[in-house]
Amino acid sequence: MADTRTPVIELAGIGKTYVSGDVQTPVLFDVGFRIYPGEFVAIVGGSGSGKTTLLNIMGLLDRPSTGKVMVEGREVSNLDEQGRAEVRRDRLGFIFQFHYLLPEFTVIENALMPCRMKGPKYEAAEEPRMRALLDLVGLGEKLRNRPSQLSGGQQQRVAVVRSLANNPALVLADEPTGNLDSRSGRIVFDLMKSLSRESGIAFVMVTHDDDFALEADRVIRIRDGRIESPGTPRPAPAEAT
C-alpha cells in the first residue's frame, strides 16, 4: 500500500558538483528519498561518501546542482537566500558534532536562542516549554549555569533541546555523539530517539556508529555519492477506530 503521508522532506534527483575554475568535482548523483513525520533515520557511509554534502542540502545550507528539495510538500531548492533562511528558522532544527553553545549565555538563554530570531514576544511565550524540556533531560537545576559549568554530555543535551526551540518538522544531526564518551553518547542518542517518538518530529542523524545506526527506524546507506539503500520507511501509526 502506498504511503499517503506528506513527507517532512523529499529529495528527488539530487546531484551536486563543486566547480573550482576549470575543475569539476561531482559529489552526489541522482539522490532521492523521503523522510516521514516521526521517523528516526540514520545516514551512514564511509569518509568521502557525500554524507555531509547531503545533510547540508537537506538543511538548505547548500544548493543542489540538479534536482529538487521539498519540505512538507513545498519546493524549497529554488528559494532565494531569505526564503531558505526562513524555512531553516521555522521548520528545521540542527544538532552538530560540537555543541556550539555561546559561552556568555546561560543554559536557558542558549536553548532559547533560535526563538530570539522571531522576537521577544515569541521567546517569552516559548520559555516555559523550553524550561520543561530542559527539566525533562535532567538539566532543570542547571538553567542559570554557563556552558563551561557543564559536562560534555550536558552541553550536547542543551544543543538537542535548542534544536527543538522553534517546533521544527525535521531535526538534522551531524555526528551528534562523535565528541562524547560512550555513556554520554548513549544518553544523547536515547534522548533524540525518545523526543522523536513523543513529539512526532523527524530526526535524521549522520553517524559512524553502527550500533546507533542499527537502532534507528531505518538506515540510508550512501557510497561514492549514490544511495546504496534508502531503507524502508516506518509505517504510519494506525488510526484509532
The answer as to whether 1 is a domain residue is no
Neighbouring residues of 231: CB distance < 8 A, sequence distance ≥ 6:
41, 218, 219, 220, 221
Q: What is the mean pLDDT of residues 12-19?
A: 94
In single-letter form, the type of residue at position 24 comes to: Q
81-132 pLDDT, tens digit per residue, is 999 999 998 899 998 878 889 999 999 999 999 988 888 898 899 999 999 9
- Evaluate if pTM is beyond 0.75: yes
The answer as to whether 237 is a domain residue is no
Task: Please report which confidence band the pLDDT of residue 26 belongs to, taking 50, 70 and 90 as the band edges.
Answer: very high
Cα 171 to the center of its chain, rounded Å: 3
Query: Nearest Cα to 237, choosing from 28, 5, 35?
Result: 5
The total of structural domains in the chain comes to: 1
- The size of the chain, in residues, is 241
The answer as to whether 101 is a domain residue is yes
Please give the radius of gyration of the chain, using alpha carbons only, rounded to the nearest integer.
18
Task: Provide the domain limits for residue 160.
Answer: 9-229
Torsion of CA 221, 224, 227, 228, to 10 degrees: -60
Q: Of all residues in the chain, what percent are helix, strand and coil, respectively (each to 5)? A: 35, 25, 40
The answer as to whether 75 is a domain residue is yes
Task: Please report which confidence band the pLDDT of residue 4 belongs to, taking 50, 70 and 90 as the band edges.
Answer: low
Q: What is the mean pLDDT of residues 206-219?
A: 88
Contact 72, 44 (CB under 8 A): no
- Where residue 59 sits, what CATH number does that domain have? 3.40.50.300
**Which grid coordinates belong to 143?**
538553567
146-205 pLDDT, tens digit per residue, is 999 999 889 988 999 999 888 899 999 988 888 778 888 888 888 888 888 888 899 999
Check the CA dihedral 145-146-148-153 and report its sign: positive
The answer as to whether 105 is a domain residue is yes
The answer as to whether 3 is a domain residue is no
The answer as to whether 236 is a domain residue is no
H-type alpha helices, the chain: 51-58, 81-91, 107-111, 113-116, 120-136, 152-163, 182-199, 210-214
More confidently predicted of 4 and 21? 21
Question: 229: which strand partners?
Answer: 221
Using the predicted structure, report yes or no on whether residue 52 has a pLDDT greater than 80. Answer: yes
**For position 103, what pLDDT does the model report?**
93
Using the predicted structure, report yes or no on whether residue 231 has a pLDDT greater than 80. Answer: no
Distances (CA, A) of 108 to 32, 65, 99, 171: 38, 39, 14, 20
57-86 pLDDT, tens digit per residue, is 999 999 999 999 999 999 998 899 999 999
Number of Cβ atoms within 10 Å of the Cβ of 72: 15
Number of Cβ atoms within 10 Å of the Cβ of 77: 18
In single-letter form, the type of residue at position 196 comes to: S
**For position 240, what pLDDT does the model report?**
39
